[in-house]
Structure 1
């Protein structure tokens, strides 16, 4: 009798639990039961038009992937500082932009998810430009897929060229120097230069290919700065001499502007070396400006330019890695990349997409596409931020004549290497 009562009570308790569970389920909205996975994506600031384009591409992704929602965050200032802080605090986004310039440091810190296990043959990894993909490889692993890129090219003012009787763009640096003298003018004869021939940006990101032109190197095999050699100085001396002796070049600050694109657009300089990003800026901000582009003039018979790229990477602590990969594979896949680069804000890193969009035949973008074959990637190991800071500070002083180029570069190299050793 007692055993039967116990069995009855156990059965009653089981039924009660089933009823409670059933009623709880009725209280949960169906939308919550099937709620999509939220993937957090972070990137840096860009023009309003570019942000609108990214928003559209993300909406297209969500339409074809209803089980995933993207929460995009724009980090407008101190981007890498914010990302590094959040990685330390395990609060970083699932997917985020990573510049090739900063990639070696993060790839070496075991905070990024290797992507090999996610990549299938159908993704067609061989379609990427090797030089761009290699920027996100570390110890035989792939940590990022390049989303777009830009090289540098020469922009020149068509009206200024016509006025000076110049029929074509310079193809060598000697020609560029000669053209710059012809294009530097004082319209009102008041000892004030109204137009300089060339606009110069003295930062290392624009000078590294000049260091290589005569056989110099930015860093050695151990990652220490080594740009103060005689070979490196030859390329940099061209910049100093043009500014100080020829007086045919100007920095943005000399003419009251903030960038190379702005001083070119305002007609303060007739030529400037800029990235692909300058095309939409100039077309929008200075719609009446007539300009053309050509490949960067060769130095010492060596073709040279820089290439800048960024990748989508996955946080190693991401909670939904399969869904994070779905986003990365879409944005860097053929369909997503074509949508992203179709307006010309950026150039596609996939060769098939570039061929489809025909940028190698575009009058303004063909020079940028051609440059990828011989460009110097803006990447040089974990310590490049330190090296860049030391270089930029001292190179400007050499241009202004506060010290000789050799003295400035020796100081910059020693300062950089001291900081690198102190942080090891």
Structure 2
């Protein structure tokens, strides 16, 4: 079995953490920002140094490819994204890029024979933290293969008009034109020239650490739904209107949140997760009783049957009157569970076993670019343990040893795919 370099991986982690460094441990590296351009240029410099050919597609995805012995063989691609959330960490997304780079560097240094061309890739705008939505560009690239209820969200012409959440004016299309990374549509990832895809990512949860395992062999991305519950009351003066006559939409919404927690917990699914992470209140004035309040509920589980039971509870809120307020339940987003290719999952598991890296099977609760690619070609993921399960924050951490172990598993899994 082949090994990746701890020294090289440590150097890459240290170097790339400078691009967007906010001065207190993490990064803010919005897609196509000056900081992101620095990271992309460093990727290109290092990949060209080992003889990789660089290509860029029309939505700024960057590909670095080492030729294989068979000029007609399709490529095997590895990669993830280089952008971050605001005040994010040094591992989410970029670890998949660094690991792909490390695989190519190990192949070049050790002159490892391989038939297929091997490609390291940077996906554009996975986070959607500056230009929504998340996984924007993988949605665009995989558009023709996505389920009907998903693909409408990712029309290229609509994505180019997505406006910056900061200035509310600059569009993704304008940022793309200004970035210097707008290439050719013919360079896009597609089943015509790519055999399969691997993506390494930090786990973003505590399962591996709690189990004492370094690597997760991922079998799927969990199905999920996001619904919005809207409550309608009446605004009145906070100091003059009698309590029994009020229709307080915020009070109604708070009762509904408690109801949802109680009723969903009664279903008894220990591996079910759900969150109310966003609330909007109108008029949001301290002297006014709220007349309109809405909140979202995000629910995730592998089983479509379990999700359907939870959804029935959510929808039941619309059949009730909440302290005089009406409730409307609207679907915002959903996805079915996306299962990874069984052969590729097997290659990852075998590579972990043969290299002696501690591992276990895990699900992904978060979405990733790979889940859209899975509709287009065989795809799988590898997780690296996250300290304390923290992610999307500056405390995010995976040790260089664990990151190198992940890259080693990736290298050997890719070679297994190449041999097949």
TM-score (norm 2): 0.24
Which structure: greater helix fraction?
Answer: 1
Decide which structure has greater strand share.
2
Larger Rg: 1
